[in-house]
Amino acid sequence: MLSVQHFGWKFLISSEWNPTQGNEHYGALLFIVGTLFTSILALIIALPMAFSTSLFIGEYFRNTRMASIVSTLVDLLAGIPSIIYGLWGFYILRPFIVSIGLSAQGYGIFTAGLILAIMIIPYATSLSNTSIMMVPNELKEAAYSLGATRLEVIWNVILPNARSGIAASYILAFGRALGETLAVTMLIGNANIIPTGLFSTGNTMASVIANQFGEASGLQLSSLIEIGLLLFVITTLINAAGKFIIKKMA
Amino acid sequence: MEIVNTQTKIKRADIFPDHFGRRKFKNNLFLGAVIFFSLITISFVFLIIGTLVVKGYHQINWAFFTQTPPDTFTAMMAKSSGKIIPGGIINGITGTLYLVAIASLIAIPFGILIGIYLYENSSKRYATFIRDITDVLQGVPSIVVGLIVYLWVVVHITRGYSVLAGSAALAIMMLPLIIRSTEEAMKMIPDTLKEAAIALGTPYYKVVLRVLIPTSFSGIMTGILLAISRIMGETAPLMLTTLGNPAINWNLTKPVSAVPLLIWQFYNDPNMVDLIWSSTLFLMGFVLILNLLAKWIAAKRNL
């Protein structure tokens, strides 16, 4: 690994990315920040929607026709390829964001986070469904018989019991968001700067690989591969955390 | 005649404490919020598919399925004279099918064998290790898979972008899905069935081929179809492994195109915008059909 020899630990904390010949310097910090920023934003946006959908399927309309239709549609959402999300985001979502005046160009962390949120909803939903459904009926019935409303049952009985499953599903969805490539590449603006705000442009680890891999060679290629390694390590750690929580729950 | 109700009506407030109204209101409000957000979630499916159909259908014609894409200049001329862009994505369609076929050839036998191993030896240390590795593999971002295949296959084996490299990347992404679905499907087989076969003195390989695989076939099939529909739209790993090719190619060691790669190319070329939507519509349709087919098989099994 050329880039490891060359930059050592500084690779992680340097935010300069300069491929100019003779003045090459590569650091991964800005991509790490960009990746975490978009993914966390996506998670925050996805949270209410995924949570509602899993309650819809797992509690309110459990085992009804409506629930099976909704869960099929949510599964379809998972089946849509990343590039289609990217195109849809680029041609529909981006002009929409420009037209409501949130940002001049429509590119940036917010747009990318929004499209990522849609992409990870199915992952966050499917596992929380099952854990919400697995809450024993006796517990719920006991609460109802004490005169609790449905909301109170959800809040005081279902949530504490399904807590770890729901948490694990969001962690796994977060891991999924970290590695998404093309949809983010098309929307984030690909500026090699540390993002300063919600509507600032930026870059992520996956999209810098996708963008620069074609022309890269030597030190730059090696740096891109090191970014790939970092991405692998981060996602694996996140996924392992999710799996650990599931195991503890079982 | 009118029946007069002489009973005094009991009001809710007499039974329930004062704040019941507020609790009920909160309860209904929450239900409303749940339905509202769920509707938003599923509306994205319709929004996305609707956009594809509306923008893509007028480019779908015979040439779309039989010709290679035009060059930028031809596309520009057609666009400026108000006609639809000539040409199609035949190189992408054949490329995608070819890549998926080779990837399936690699991943399906391995996946099923590993799945059977995990099922038969579920508590062994080595099996647990393999299961954990499979989980890790499933979480690896697709672009990282692309990078790894680039480093191994593109640089060292085929010495250039190739079908083989692309298929290898796709196969790596298929493997965990197939392993998991095989193992899950086998777990549903009643033990008595297997024991009956063994009691008859059937050799082990025959138990696997004649009993285990046929009984869990629909489950395995669902997994395979879902895996194929998942990898079909993968673009990022293909960008690093097969690159793309303007013509049809059947040579394993040469670059090939694929529908998602073509979409990426069209996206980067302002003259080809109209072709994007029809290609995307085609890809989406294909993926959707595979998905629904898998669902249908799974539903039939559960009846």
Confirm whether A95 is domain-assigned.
Answer: no
Distance CA A189, CA A77 (A): 24
Summarize pLDDT for B20-74 with one digit per residue, the tens.
678 888 889 999 999 999 999 999 999 999 988 888 887 777 877 887 887 777 7
Substitution target in B144, B240, B243, B287 with the highest count of A β-carbons within 10 Å is: B144
pLDDT (average), residues A53-72: 88
| Cα gap A2→A8, rounded to integer Å | 10
* CB-CB neighbors (< 8 A) of A179 in chain B: 139-144
- A130 DSSP β-pair partners: none
Asked if the Cβ–Cβ distance from B236 to A210 is below 8 Å, we say yes
B208: which 2 tokens? 């696997």
Helix (H, G, I), strand (E, B) or coil at B15: helix
> Is A105 a member of any domain?
no
How far is B197 from chain A, CA to nearest CA, in Å?
Answer: 33
Among A80, A121, A236, whose Cβ lies nearest the Cβ of B139? A236
**Greatest distance between any 2 Cα atoms in chain B:** 97
How many domains, chain A? 1
Nearest to B223 by CA among B172, B176, B190, B168: B176
- Is pLDDT of A70 > 80? yes
Cβ atoms of A231 and A208 within 8 Å: the answer is: no
pLDDT tens per residue across span A158-211: 998 888 889 989 998 999 899 888 888 888 887 877 887 788 888 888 888 888
The answer to whether B23 contacts A81, with C-beta atoms less than 8 Å apart, is: no
Contact A236 B26 (CB under 8 A): no
Confidence (pLDDT) at B174: 94
Instruction: Using alpha carbons, select from B226, B235, B219, B237 the residue that is nearest to residue B288.
Output: B226
pLDDT for residue A116 is more than 90: yes
DSSP for A127-184 reads: HHHHHHHTS-HHHHHHHHHTT--HHHHIIIIIHHHHHHHHHHHHHHHHHHHHH--HHH
- For residue B197, what are its two tokens? 């076969």
Give the range with max mean pLDDT: A96-100, B76-80, B108-112.
Answer: B108-112
- Best of A39, A70, A84, A217 to disrupt the B interface by mutation (most B CBs within 10 Å)? A84
Distance of alpha carbon B219 from the chain centroid: 16
pLDDT for residue B23: 83
Our CA-based measurement puts residue B3 at a distance from the nearest CA of chain A, in whole angstroms, of: 34
How far does B275 lie from chain A, in Å, by closest CA?
12
Residue B113: per-residue pLDDT: 93
User: Which ipTM value was assigned to this complex?
Assistant: 0.86
Neighbours of A29 (CB within 10 A): 16
The β-bridge partners of A18 are A25
Q: At what angle do helices B125-139 and B90-120 cross, to 10 degrees?
A: 150
Contact assignment for B234 to A81 by CB distance below 8 Å: yes
CB A206 within 8 A of CB B236: yes
CA B41 to chain centre: 19
Contact A228 B139 (CB under 8 A): no
**Of A61-70, A185-194, B109-118, B132-141, minimum mean pLDDT range:** A185-194
**Is A40 within a domain?**
no
- Give the residue from A61, A73, A76 with the most B CB atoms within 10 Å of its CB, the best one to mutate: A76
Q: What is the DSSP letter of B69?
A: P
What token pair was written down for B153?
A: 């296959």
Least confident of A51-55, A237-241, B76-80, B234-238: B76-80
The C-alpha of B282 sits at a distance from chain A's nearest C-alpha, in angstroms, of: 11
Q: What pLDDT is recorded for position B17? A: 58
Count other Cβ atoms within 10 Å, centred on residue B247.
11
The CATH number of the domain where A197 resides is what? 1.10.3720
Which pLDDT score, from 0 to 100, does residue A78 have?
87
* Residue A15 pLDDT class (50, 70, 90 cuts): confident
Q: Containing H/E element for B17?
A: none
pLDDT digit string (tens) for B125-182?
999 999 989 988 988 999 999 999 998 988 888 888 899 999 999 999 999 999 999 9
Percent helix, strand, coil in chain A (nearest 5)? 75, 0, 25
pTM for the predicted model, two decimal places:
0.87
Query: Which comes out higher in pLDDT, residue A4 or A144?
Result: A144
> Stretch A117-130: mean pLDDT, rounded?
90
Residues of chain B with C-beta less than 8 angstroms from the C-beta of A42: none
In a domain, A101, yes or no: no
Q: What angle do CA B298, B127, A233 make, to 5 degrees?
A: 90
Residue type for position A87 = L
Q: Give me the pLDDT at residue A18, please.
A: 78
Q: Which domain holds residue A158?
A: 2-34+47-81+121-177+191-249
Largest CA distance in chain A: 76
Pick A179's closest partner by Cβ from B27, B47, B144. Answer: B144
